[in-house]
Amino acid sequence: MKIFEYEAKTILAKYGIQTPKGGLATDVNQVREIASTLKPPLAIKAQVLVAGRGRSGGILFADSVSEAEKSAEKLLNMQIKGIPVRSIWIEEKIQVKNELYLGITIDRANRSYVAIASTVGGMEIEEVAAEAPEKVIKSLIKPQHGFRSFHARQMARKIGYSGSQLTTLGKIFEALYRVSMDYDTELVEINPLAETFDGKFVAADARIIIDDNALFRHREYKKRLLEGESELTPQELEAIRNNLAYVKLNGNIGVIGNGAGLVMATLDTIQFYGGKPSNFLDVGGGATSEKIAAALNIVLSDPNVKALFINILGGITRCDEVATGILKAKERVGVTKPIVIRLVGTNEEEGKRILTEVGIHVLESMEEAAQKVVKISKQEEER
């Protein structure tokens, strides 16, 4: 779960990391109020969770309260990658001597947390790693001892600091690790960490992603997620509430399947045959008819969908149950769009019988079914 920049900064400040003075606003009046308490120049930053906010024009600068108001108005009327800007953060702009990167994330290959530091801040760290790997310093963190003050100082030294700046950087980095552990983050990064002309360090931007699977330990965020106080679309929210894995795509073939790998492969196969999937939706193992109804509902709520492909490989799940579930769901949701179903596995024959009786195509081969749904989607599109 991503949280907003202003939330991340509030957390960092709580852990003693210096952040720019600022405030959150949802309308221009609030902007005026906040801006008048700050010392210009100011940074006016759209609070959106999508990546590449800066490049999309989501960060503006202002030298006065009135300029700040104008910038804020502009941002509040803007969409960034399709997401409307609901709130903005106004803060004092830092006079930057150097921009650094500090982050704690997961090293999958080493089954470990990893601390990352770089003297190249302000860019995505993956890009820095690709272009100048020698400028990215990594240190694996073993849970037994964690990332301690001396590890943090060792990192600070490796990016070229010494003396009191080294200890300050060390404290910031150590605090970042504590944030990571306390909030169960997948990623916590300060990027850039601004080094000012008087040698101080200020978190100019910050990003935190909380491990979705640990949200049971962070109920305030779990609650927020379920209450939709985030940037989720109604479909995404509905999916989360029904424990469905759902991702919106840009095509016209709705896809539902059981198992993440199978659904991904289904999308790939549709694409291979020239079709365009409208979504990823995994109902998981042993889905109930309720769950399948919810899945159909979510997928079909996209007006672009011209045809639906349900790909079920019944292993432990029985095909007859799935078929009944689909029928129930179909009736409840009132599906009128063409459906192609691929259904194999346990009790396959009974499942097929149930579905063919009501005139639904049932196929055995995933490739054949994919070709069929692609063809239908094209015909429907041409109507």
Partner 1 sequence: MGIIIDKNTHAIVQGITGTQGRFHTKLMLEYGTKIVAGVTPGKGGMQIHGVPVYDTVEAALEKHPANASIIFVPAIFAAEAALEALENGIKTIIIITEHIPIKDAVNVMTYAEQVNAVIIGPNTPGIITSEESKLGIMPAHIFMPGSIGMVSRSGTLTYEIAAGLTRKQLGQSTCLGLGGDPITGLNFIDVLKMFRKDPQTKAVVLIGEIGGNLEELTAEYIIKEKYPKPVVAFIAGRSAPPGKRMGHAGAIIMGKAGTAESKIKALRSAGVNVAEKPSDVAKSLARIIDI
Nearer to partner 1, 249 or 327 (CB): 249
Please give the Cα distance from 339 to 360 (Å, whole number). 7
Please give the Cα distance from 39 to 37 (Å, whole number). 7
The alpha carbon of residue 25 and the mean position of all alpha carbons in its chain are separated, in whole angstroms, by 23
Residue 31 CB, shortest distance to partner 1, in Å, is: 29
Residue 262 CB, shortest distance to partner 1, in Å, is: 4
- CB contact set of 181 (below 8 Å; sequence gap of 6+): 146
In one letter, which amino acid is 212?
D
Nearer to partner 1, 39 or 316 (CB): 316
Residue 311 CB, shortest distance to partner 1, in Å, is: 9
Please give the Cα distance from 93 to 265 (Å, whole number). 47
- Catalytic residue, from 5, 91, 99, 189: name it: 189
Please give the Cα distance from 44 to 88 (Å, whole number). 7
In one letter, which amino acid is 99?
E
For CA atoms 233, 237, 239, 245, the dihedral sign is positive
Nearer to partner 1, 30 or 167 (CB): 167
Nearer to partner 1, 226 or 262 (CB): 262
Nearer to partner 1, 28 or 245 (CB): 245
Is 350 noted as a catalytic residue in this protein? no
272: number of Cβ within 10 Å: 13
Residue 209 CB, shortest distance to partner 1, in Å, is: 10
Please give the Cα distance from 112 to 103 (Å, whole number). 14
- Catalytic residue, from 69, 99, 101, 238: name it: 101
Please give the Cα distance from 65 to 324 (Å, whole number). 63
- List the one residue out of 266, 252, 374 whose CA is nearest residue 313: 266
Is 189 noted as a catalytic residue in this protein? yes
Q: In what order do the strands lie in the sheet with 88-92?
A: 22-25, 88-92, 42-46, 59-62
Per CB under 8 A, residues contacting partner 1 are 51, 106, 108-109, 111-113, 124, 126-127, 130, 142-145, 148-150, 153-154, 157, 162-164, 166-167, 170, 181, 184, 186, 211-214, 216-217, 245, 247, 249, 257-265, 267-272, 277, 280, 282, 285, 313-316, 344-346, 365-367
Annotated catalytic sites, by residue?
101, 189
